[in-house]
Structure 1
Amino acid sequence: MTFRKRCEALRMILTGSICVRPGSVYDAVSIRIAEDLGFELGMFGGSVASLAVLGDPDITLITLTELAEQMRRMSRAASLPVLVDADHGYGNAMNVRRTVEELATAGAAGLSIEDTLLPQAFGQPGTQLIPLEEGVGKMKAAVDARGDASVVIMARTGAASISGLDDAIARAVAYEGTGVDALFLTGIKSHAELEAIAAATKLPLVLGGFPEADCDYLANQRVRIALQSHAPFAAATHAVYETLKALRDGTSPKNLKGLASSELTGRVTREADVKARSAEFLGLKR
């Protein structure tokens, strides 16, 4: 699937009538698994990017280059459309332009730019937001950087849990006027808050961190994508820890539990395709 078709697949989700829950992906293997399981969309979160690439918590230490390169690795491995959490765009509005350019050429189907003040300011506890005017400038820069490309741009705000619902609505309405394709909301804690923002806006909505809610209800509120955490990375971390601990404690490799079968490993490494190419191009027997 070409990069443009991946963008078009994401756009079809946004213009559809149902709510999709994406699979959390972070490397070549995880995106292939999500694709094989039939997920319509992958979500590459900033927190799992930091964990997968650096082994660091989500405090904006990862760079744009590292994020884009990891996205490029995933794009090579699978055709699943991926939405990337691009944090604050790695700087001001001019940096946002480059962020869009880099992620688009790395194969991202879409990306979100948020209005959080990042990295955290000196001496300022808690999460802070940039001024609304600066946020509008960032969203305009993101749309401008896209040019005639089909990559999806989402304006993200967590204002509902930081500065209140009224500010969240004001920011959503302002960002909607910049030409972005969707609004990405975090910090929504109730149906009433979601319904108020949905009533004040027109664009498709994306939700992160919302309490468990029925997909039919979310779809009726114009929510087209609802995240469901980054559990796969946590599960993988636990599995690696338990396996290494068992080996360190003296367990024989043949007695280890929970390992991927050779059949599953062959599928996620696309072993059959590799063998077919080796036979055709290297003259090797299959």
Structure 2
Amino acid sequence: MQTLKALIEKSDPVITTLVSNPLMAKLAEQAGFNALYLGGGMLGYTKVFLEANLNITDLVQIGIEIRSASQLPLILDGATGFGDPMHMHRTIPFAESAGFEAIEIEDQIIPKRAHHHADIEHMIPQQLMEEKIKESINARRNNDFLIIARTNGIRSTSLSDALDRGKAYKDAGADVLMLSPRNREELLAISNNLEGPFQLLVPNGGLTSLETDRNELGSLGFKIIIDASQPMLVALRAWKTFYETMDDNFQSPMLSKEDASYWSEELKNVVELQKLLEIETRTVEK
């Protein structure tokens, strides 16, 4: 299994998707994704107290569970890094020890606020973020572990400020930059003015709003492309529809008896139940 660092050195971008638990990781791996992304935003929604209330221990525990089910490179959405420069000397070793191959750290205030989800963000001074990046590098024990520096400057201040911050963060030693373009003009501005590689979170609805495709993105330096929300939105729609349509006989138009039988077997296949049964047959079920 190649490391994430090795994958981003290739010409093709690394196609990555959101996972919040081991089952999602197994499904993504079997579907052919190159890497996995533990996103704080959707995990916070899952726990119904938002990303602002997550801590590094929460994320590390889930990371360990995911890594136990899949060997694909796993990226951690590390929010603000959970502290100042000094605190990176706990956050980074924690993430490395849990099996993550990269951590995304953004330049927002600590603690994060719920208003982040209303597109109101409060950014820390550029110099402070530079110091957090430098200490993240000092704290890592494996040079293959990537530091992804994220700035929300495009939507919080200006494109110009975001580009200035991106350059400063790269100069501070960040391995990958993330600037979140909203349209093709901003996408090209990032590629033309900064040194990659870059990470991109795909907007809801796909790449249409950016007027690009994965092949062009790779040539522009966007080497990690992540769908960080749609898997959870699809699941949310399914859960909500099923709960609202289930009748007194515990039936729903979403799932026939035949469908239920098929997906029950598929679930067993995903978790490789047969392999475990064979182990028991050889050992304790003789």
TM-score (normalised: structure 1):
0.87
Q: List, as ranges, runs of 4+ consecutive aligned residues in structure 1 with deviation greater than 4 Å.
A: 120-125, 253-256
Q: Is residue 169 from structure 1 mapped to residue 163 from structure 2 by the alignment?
A: yes
Q: Residue type of the partner of 1:72?
A: I
SS in 2 for 1:11: helix
SS at match of 1:48: helix
Identify which of 107, 110, 126 aligns with 1:115: 107
Question: For residue 172 of structure 2, what is the amino acid of its counterpart?
Answer: T
Cα contact 1:157–1:168 (8 A) shared by 2: yes
Contact 1:88 1:96 in 2 (8 A): no
What SS does the corresponding residue of 2:14 show, helix, strand or coil?
coil
Match of 1:261 among 235, 258, 263: 263
Deviation at 1:254, TM superposition (A): 9.1
2:201 is matched with 208
Change in Cα spacing, 1:162 to 1:209, as seen in structure 2 (3 Å) is farther
Q: Give, in whole Å, the separation in 2 of the partners of 1:192 and 1:230.
A: 23
Tell me the alpha carbon deviations over residues 125-171 of structure 1, each in whole angstroms, 9 at most, x when there is no partner.
Answer: 92111000000011111111113352211111111111111111111
Cα deviation for residue 273 of structure 1 reads 1.8
> 2:39–2:228: 8 Å Cα contact kept in structure 1?
no
Aligned residue pair count: 274
In 2, the alpha carbon distance for the partners of 1:61 and 1:121 equals 9
Of 69, 91, 95, 1:99 maps to 91
Task: Name the CA distance, whole Å, in 2 between partners of 1:23 and 1:219.
Answer: 17
Q: Kindly state the Cα deviation for residue 16 of structure 1 after the two structures are TM-superposed.
A: 1.2
Distance in 2 (CA, whole Å) between partners of 1:149 and 1:191 is 33
Q: Tell me the CA shift for residue 203 of structure 1.
A: 2.5
Shift of residue 199, structure 1, vs aligned partner: 2.3
The Cα of 1:182 is off from its aligned counterpart by 0.8
Return the offset for 1:82.
1.3
Identify the residue that residue 220 of structure 2 maps to in structure 1: 221
Identity, % of aligned pairs? 23
Give the Å deviation of 1:251.
3.3
Residue 49 of structure 2 aligns with an amino acid whose one-letter code is D
RMSD, matched Cα: 2.4
Deviations for 1:65-109, whole angstroms, at most 9, x for unmatched residues? 111101111111111211111000111112222111111111112
Note the C-alpha offset of 1:37.
0.7
Q: Which residues of structure 2 form unaligned runs of 5+?
A: 204-208
Letter in 1 for 2:72: L
Partner of 2:206: none
Question: What is the aligned partner in structure 1 of residue 65 from structure 2?
Answer: 73
Alpha-carbon distance between aligned partners in 1 of 2:115 and 2:215, rounded to the nearest angstrom: 43
Q: Within 5 Å, which residues of 2 pair with 1:148-187?
A: 148-186=142-180
Task: Measure how far apart 1:239 and its partner are.
Answer: 2.3
Return 5+ residue gaps in structure 1 as ranges: none
Q: Counterpart in 2 of 1:127?
A: 121
Distance 1:122 1:275, change over 3 A: closer
Query: What amino acid does structure 1 have at the position aligned with 2:234?
Result: A
The answer to whether the Cα contact below 8 Å between 1:185 and 1:208 also exists between their aligned partners in 2 is: no
Task: Report the AA paired with residue 112 of structure 1.
Answer: E
C-alpha distance in structure 2 between counterparts of 1:197 and 1:266, whole Å: 45
Distance 2:199 2:69 in 1: 26
Q: Could you say what secondary structure the match of 2:104 adopts?
A: strand
> Cα gap change, 1:107/1:279 in structure 2, threshold over 3 Å: closer, same or farther?
same
In 1, Cα distance between the equivalents of 2:189 and 2:254?
Answer: 52
Q: 2:28 aligns with which of 27, 34, 38?
A: 34
